[in-house]
Structure 1
Amino acid sequence: MHKHKSNPILDAKLDAVSLSIKQSIKNLDSFTHVRGESLYVDDVNIRQGTFHAVVFDAPKAHGHIKHIDYSKAEALEGVERIFTYKDIPGKNQIGGIIPDEPLFAEDDIHFWGMPIALIVAESEFIARKARALIEIDIEELPVITTAKQAKAKGSFINAPRSFSLGDSEKAFKDCEYVFEGETFSNGQEHLYIEAQGAYAEPLENGNIKITSSTQGPTAVQKTIAQVLGVAMHKIEVDVTRLGGGFGGKEDQATPWAVMTALATFHLNQSVKLILNRHDDLRMTGKRHPYESTYKIGLSKDLKIMAYEVEFLQNSGAAADLSPAIAERTLFHATNSYFVPHVKTTVISCKTNLPPNTAFRGFGGPQGMFVIESAIAKAACEIGVPARVIQEANLLDENDTFSYGQVAKKVEAKNTWSSATELFNITLLEQEVETFNANNSNFKKGLALMPITFGISFTNTPMNHARALVHIYLDGSIGISTAAVEMGQGVNTKMMQIASEVFSIPIEKIKIETTNTTRVANTSPSAASSTADLNGKATLKACKALLKRLISVASEDLNISEEHIQLKDEYVYTHGEKSNLSWTELISKTMLKRVALTENAHYATPEIHFDKTKEKGHPFAYHVYGTAIIIVTVDCTRGTYEFDAVKIVHDYGKSMSEGIDLGQVEGALAQGIGWMTMEEIAYNDEGRLLSNALSTYKIPDLFSVPKEVEVLPVKTDGHELAILKSKAVGEPPLMYGIGAYFALQNAIRAFNPKYDLKFHAPMTPEKVLMSLYENK
């Protein structure tokens, strides 16, 4: 048996490895995406005899079920069976953080769209026809649709939480300026291209395999086991990729997978459930709407001395991920600013809407919108540009956040000064002023938006990942991790890591599907941490394998290990190419019975948070950036176009500039959409009105900024980011918040009597009314 001896010199070289990642690499999924060859749940080759399912959901938002008649539906030819809560062998419960959400309604319904039953039939058409035949009698109860209503009625998900720093009450007394106000930021529909869905198939011995469109395979596995009353090892969950997630498939992909598993459990036949767009819109939760009140105090030199805010979070009818999202709102309540005296409180309010859920930014954007609104209000009242207050209060090294973490490697001022200098903010402002002076029917507005966003799951135990790496006999490699590819390019980054560690072409590497039998007990792909956590685990596994290979090469060539390296599919000694190729090395390693498989585990070091004290060090690092947004408003029609967004962003040391740039541009467009045009609307009865793409508008090619320029800030990166390449999924969405304030500045240029309001989104209708308010 070949034995491995410790080599301190080699160990030090491996620990200090800094990979020269090729910056030009593209997302390797693009080829199959544009050719229509990428596989999703709906593309799975189904077994003969597979049944198709449709969900029967509540046609009212709140009430008591008096009677349901399934007889006509059950009698329809082709209907196999209708499942309700009575068919659940385990627990009728899918709640994660708080067990308050049944899979199927029992006696009461709590939101319009709440699942009541699953119709399983020979085809989806038959199942939908059967759904129309079900008769239900509901005793209606009062409906709560807003957070303020819920607070007034004492309807809450859990107890409020507060973060504090200093003594805000005392600090306000010493402030030169004190302002108060309220804000509203609406929800946002995820509108992933691929709707929610799952496919369940029976295996032998009562095992079930689920192909699911989920960001959290382990959560799906655990919940199915709980509902079916079986052990987790009986359930296998597999994910190839998602056609978009944005947080909407972190928790809310689970019920559909559970339903298919329940039907397969009873029928011993495969079952497929794919929601159509209308069902998906109606039954799933959105980004949380927030109704907030703030108080801000500034010194004479415009330092923010005190800040208080109460966030009312519209959680919907069940907890879902609301408590964690509320927590992240508190973490980001002061955005990029140091405020010595802070008190922030968040209340998760229970309403009769679908349970709201994770959405890119996870509560952070809602928190940032409030402080930016408070700054805009203060600037207007004092008579200075908002950017003067923003710049005067930017975070500096060793400043303390309200949750106790001390800011390190701070790039807030660096990105701000880089943006204002590189893009010449003085000239841009002059151009806006000149345009406005020379145009009466069109006005421009300009705003700056700095961002500071923490990277980690704020629930510390979730910050871990594993990677399973196989080197096959021919030198090709297979990698399994918990990372779920949903368009962000994480698979490409995992392949880059292995390619560079072993110095082999990326074509020799395959990323396996995300599967609970290969990599178990995983955190979801969320919190912008997927590449960091799974990448670190992959790097750890590859380095362990590399060490073994070097040991074998050392013995075979009779050369000391520290003089050996792998380069371009060959072993090099003393910097010179030897005759030992990569493939031959793998063969020799196998013959010596040295393991060519490694299972590595990574847990983020240093982070911790004490919820009893609301203090700690919850984030591995922060991402910084500054955006300049310029808009032109048609003051006759209320319509607008974003002329340019100019950004200096903190990528760290980017692994793939192309992939990261795509994430910035996509997140920016989504953030602008949330702030300007994507308006979720429910009526007073709790029925979704924005229930189609004719009534819910998202940014298209004609509504995105005409020009987007993104420059990387010069920085050393952060060692807790994978290869010092910082997370890029969520932070850029917050740049879109600046769009709201650019619009307000354009409105004020036309109508100086306009009273600032902070009610997002700023739709063209609201712009038009604001342009002529008080005129």
Structure 2
Amino acid sequence: MPNTAQIAQLKSGVKAALQHDSALKHVSGEALYIDDLPEPKDCLHIYIAQSQHAHAKVTQLDVSAVKTAPGVVKVLTAQDIPGKNDFGAVIDGDPIFADGLVEYLGQSLFAVAATDITSARAAAKLAVVNYEPLPAFIHVKEALAAQSFVLDSKTFYRGQPEAELPLATYRLQGEIEIGGQDHFYLESNIALAIPGEDQDLKIYSSTQHPTEVQHCCAKVLGLPDHAIQVEVRRMGGGFGGKESQPALFASIAALVTHHTGKPAKLRLDRDDDMTLTGKRHDYVISYDVGFDDTGRIRAIQFEAASRCGMSADLSGSINDRTMFHLDNGYYLDHVKIVSHRCKTHTVSNTAFRGFGGPQGMVAMERVIDAIAYRLQQDPLIIRKRNYYGKTERNVTPYHMTITDNILPEITAELEGASNYEQRRAQVLAFNAQSPYLKKGIAFTPVKFGISFTATHLNQAGALIHIYSDGSITLNHGGTEMGQGLFTKVAQIVAEEFQVETSQIKITATTTDKVPNTSPTAASSGCDLNGKAAQNAAIILKNRLIEFAANHYQVTAADIHFTPAGVQIGASLVPFKTLVQQAYFARVSLSTTGFYKTPKIHFDPAQGKGHPFFYFAYGAAVSEVTIDTFTGEYKVDRVDIVHDCGDSINPALDRGQVEGGFIQGMGWLTTEELVYDASGRLRTHAPSTYKIPACGDRPKIMNIHLRCEANPENTVYRSKAVGEPPLMLGISVFNALTDAVASVGNYQTCPNLNTPATPERVLLACQALRDTTAELAHA
């Protein structure tokens, strides 16, 4: 056989720009989601009855009429839970069903299981529920004033900020309100429970955290974890919203099946999903900053208060990450950061792409803009003067030394590629001659830490089978929600064995194959699961090498896996043939793999440590045009440079950058959550909640992936690309701020909060006009 190893090339391994493994199925409608699965015989449908008060004692809950309604098979209240009435992800505080007390408008009261969802909905209305209303805190400032917290406040401290602030040449104080965001995944929450033998249950759940669903369902039923099997093939979006809270819906479906012995499905419609599930935390962040005449920050103090909702959920780690990212890309020598985790009588807010980091970055970028307007300088100049250094000025507020800073290089690259300096001059010239339409331009950087802030979650497992025909089955603990994780991990395994991904079967995530999984979150899906799968592949590869060395009487150094086959000395043996030979020699062709992130540690009591394995970097330049008499605006152009490490799949990474940017832009512009005084969410459907549409995409959008090897030993030296791009959208908000500032001739930083809806832009413009008129009159 001729030796073709040198000319063969692997077409679908690492670095190949493969399409998502389910892309064609997504667009054709052939991809199976939970609601597409055939419903088992006698499947029951569940409706959750919700509280109509934000904070009240439940003085009467009479469901007798509900039980006798047509089609009803079972009605469940808190008294029907055999185990623990709580689905709290970290600490208790989230009851499955309210038991005498409700703490947000929309909280689960009871569930109705009927032969169809229409009957279940109709029956739920027959319940008699009486309340004794109690005082309710709806907004962050109300809770902060009352010192109402779900968790203790925390502080990061470095240097002597109190002593240094009065010594600064300039000093500014300010406050910014940062709105929340609904996940608005295309597939709403859904769970399907199927009974088995010995009280076992199989649960299909649209969740980013199958192990959490398994654990919670077992806890609620009073069963061991091994009695519950959770399976997830794919989700129609997650964005963090399906990390902790799907446990509620899976637990209710499990309870119905446990009590009735029948399959049960709980599928939320959009309105109920938006009412029952948490959002991105909204914040009020105040700052007190001292700086010199060059704009370099001498000392700063932040106080951040977030709306956590009725319970802690994941708010501890989320608010911690806000504290970790209030510096963004800037060195803060003397700094104090105080974080308050406020209890309000609204739905418990939860994980969202960026996990608290974006809110901190928005506040820091506002500080930089405020300094720039005070000194009458280009904000980019102030940004660069405050960047972290390479070998000095490189210690964070949490005492971690940054060793991989590439922001200066990214900044220089993007300045040139976007023609920033010339375009800024053009914006200033346009605004000088245009009385009504105003342009704005902004350059903002991103430095985002990669790793779970909860250290124990930085682990993953994988399972690989090689069948005797050379085909491979791959399973790992990560979940697929459209981001392409399954494709990337398959590419990693293909690279190790030097086979095409067509030989690899990607199987559904399930708790009976890989146990004790971490959520697919914190941008760590590929970092963790890719490394675990690589570990498993290397174990199997070494077994095959050991066998081949003995079988062919060569050394291990003479064996190389190539796309053309396995080069064994002078022979080129097809991968399939070697596998068959190993099988007949009784070599195990199945193994597990495991990975835990190295180098990370953090002491929460001291606020010191090394919480991140590495940082991902990026930068964006956005240009906008606003109408100062209506507040309407458009995003004209965006230029992005984003750091992907040595990209495993540039096509998927580019999709993540573009999608993340658009989602970040939506959060900061049109996506407004409105609660009325009673605590009712008024923006609970597409008719009232505005996510970006196709027409909102910038007309010009230039994206460049910076694909240079990660200095840390990540899988194939890649970097995470899930969350960091969302923060690139901050450049749109800052560009809107810049455009509004032109109304006041750039003399002051506008008091523009997020989301910067047209109404807010209009009010900010008018406020500057009024201020300018007052100064002129004086």
Fold conserved between structures, TM > 0.5: yes
Decide which of 753, 758, 761 is 1:767's aligned counterpart.
761
CA distance in 1, matches of 2:395, 2:619: 20
1:714 Cα deviation from its structure 2 partner: 5.9
1:562 and 2:557 equivalent? yes
Is the 8 Å Cα contact of residues 149 and 340 (structure 2) preserved in structure 1?
Answer: yes
Which residue is equivalent to 1:530? 525
Cα 1:694–1:233 change in 2 (3 A) is same
* Range with greater deviation from structure 2 (344-353 or 390-399): 390-399
Which residue is equivalent to 1:93? 86
Q: Which amino acid aligns with 2:763?
A: M
CA distance in 2, matches of 1:720, 1:671: 29
Which residue is equivalent to 1:152? 145
The within-5 A match list for 1:6-155 is 21-155=14-148
Which residue is equivalent to 2:680? 687
1:641 and 2:634 equivalent? yes
1:754 Cα deviation from its structure 2 partner: 7.1
Task: In structure 1, list runs of 5 or more residues that go unmatched.
Answer: 1-18
The within-5 A match list for 1:469-548 is 469-548=464-543
Q: Which amino acid aligns with 2:116?
A: S
CA distance in 2, matches of 1:716, 1:205: 51
1:718 Cα deviation from its structure 2 partner: 3.2
CA distance in 2, matches of 1:346, 1:268: 47
The secondary structure found in structure 1 opposite 2:695 is coil
1:207 and 2:207 equivalent? no
CA distance in 2, matches of 1:759, 1:689: 20
CA distance in 1, matches of 2:92, 2:338: 24
CA distance in 2, matches of 1:499, 1:588: 20
Decide which of 422, 428, 436 is 1:427's aligned counterpart.
422
Q: CA-to-partner distance for each residue in 1:171-210, whole Å, 9 max, x for gaps?
A: 2132111100111001100000000110000011110010
CA distance in 2, matches of 1:379, 1:290: 23
Decide which of 644, 647, 652 is 2:645's aligned counterpart.
652
1:671 and 2:664 equivalent? yes
Is the 8 Å Cα contact of residues 284 and 355 (structure 1) preserved in structure 2?
Answer: yes
Q: Which amino acid aligns with 1:514?
A: T
CA distance in 2, matches of 1:673, 1:705: 12
Q: Which amino acid aligns with 2:389?
A: D
CA distance in 1, matches of 2:50, 2:157: 42
* Range with greater deviation from structure 2 (714-723 or 214-223): 714-723
Identity %: 39
Is the 8 Å Cα contact of residues 451 and 625 (structure 1) preserved in structure 2?
Answer: yes
Which residue is equivalent to 1:456? 451
1:372 and 2:371 equivalent? no
Task: Figure out how many residues of one structure are paired with residues of the other and give that number.
Answer: 755
Cα 1:772–1:154 change in 2 (3 A) is closer
Is the 8 Å Cα contact of residues 295 and 375 (structure 2) preserved in structure 1?
Answer: no
Cα 1:34–1:714 change in 2 (3 A) is closer
The secondary structure found in structure 1 opposite 2:529 is helix
Is the 8 Å Cα contact of residues 414 and 713 (structure 1) preserved in structure 2?
Answer: no
Which residue is equivalent to 1:7? none
Q: Which amino acid aligns with 2:137?
A: I
The within-5 A match list for 1:117-266 is 117-266=110-259
CA distance in 2, matches of 1:201, 1:20: 38
Decide which of 302, 306, 315 is 1:313's aligned counterpart.
306
CA distance in 2, matches of 1:751, 1:603: 53
The secondary structure found in structure 1 opposite 2:389 is coil
Which residue is equivalent to 2:3? none
1:569 Cα deviation from its structure 2 partner: 5.0
Which residue is equivalent to 2:385? 392
CA distance in 2, matches of 1:237, 1:513: 10
CA distance in 2, matches of 1:35, 1:554: 47
CA distance in 2, matches of 1:354, 1:472: 48
Q: Which amino acid aligns with 2:439?
A: K
Which residue is equivalent to 1:414? 409
The secondary structure found in structure 2 opposite 1:449 is strand
Is the 8 Å Cα contact of residues 669 and 733 (structure 1) preserved in structure 2?
Answer: yes
CA distance in 1, matches of 2:379, 2:308: 31
Q: CA-to-partner distance for each residue in 1:519-576, whole Å, 9 max, x for gaps?
A: 00111000000110000000111011111112222223222221111222522145x6
Q: Which amino acid aligns with 2:100?
A: D
1:331 and 2:324 equivalent? yes
1:96 Cα deviation from its structure 2 partner: 2.2
1:755 Cα deviation from its structure 2 partner: 5.9
Q: Which amino acid aligns with 2:538?
A: K
Which residue is equivalent to 1:757? 751
The secondary structure found in structure 1 opposite 2:694 is coil
CA distance in 1, matches of 2:204, 2:331: 46
1:268 and 2:261 equivalent? yes
Decide which of 434, 439, 453 is 1:439's aligned counterpart.
434
CA distance in 1, matches of 2:579, 2:709: 36
Which residue is equivalent to 1:401? 396
1:392 Cα deviation from its structure 2 partner: 0.3
Q: Which amino acid aligns with 1:747?
A: V
CA distance in 2, matches of 1:716, 1:771: 45
Which residue is equivalent to 1:705? 698
Q: CA-to-partner distance for each residue in 1:327-378, whole Å, 9 max, x for gaps?
A: 0001001100011111101110000000000000000011111111111112
CA distance in 2, matches of 1:20, 1:278: 42
1:452 Cα deviation from its structure 2 partner: 0.4
CA distance in 2, matches of 1:694, 1:536: 43
Cα 1:769–1:754 change in 2 (3 A) is farther
1:278 Cα deviation from its structure 2 partner: 0.6
Cα 1:437–1:758 change in 2 (3 A) is closer
The secondary structure found in structure 2 opposite 1:160 is strand
1:656 Cα deviation from its structure 2 partner: 0.8
The secondary structure found in structure 1 opposite 2:702 is strand
1:630 and 2:606 equivalent? no
Q: CA-to-partner distance for each residue in 1:81-109, whole Å, 9 max, x for gaps?
A: 11011000111111122211111100010
Decide which of 299, 304, 314 is 2:297's aligned counterpart.
304
Q: Which amino acid aligns with 1:436?
A: N
* Range with greater deviation from structure 2 (762-771 or 515-524): 762-771
Task: In structure 2, list runs of 5 or more residues that go unmatched.
Answer: 1-11, 774-778
CA distance in 2, matches of 1:86, 1:382: 64
Alpha-carbon RMSD across the aligned residues, in angstroms, is 1.4
CA distance in 1, matches of 2:735, 2:303: 25
Which residue is equivalent to 1:721? 714
Cα 1:720–1:162 change in 2 (3 A) is farther
Q: Which amino acid aligns with 1:240?
A: R
CA distance in 2, matches of 1:284, 1:370: 26
TM-score (norm 1): 0.96
Is the 8 Å Cα contact of residues 752 and 761 (structure 2) preserved in structure 1?
Answer: no
CA distance in 1, matches of 2:568, 2:435: 74
The secondary structure found in structure 2 opposite 1:524 is coil
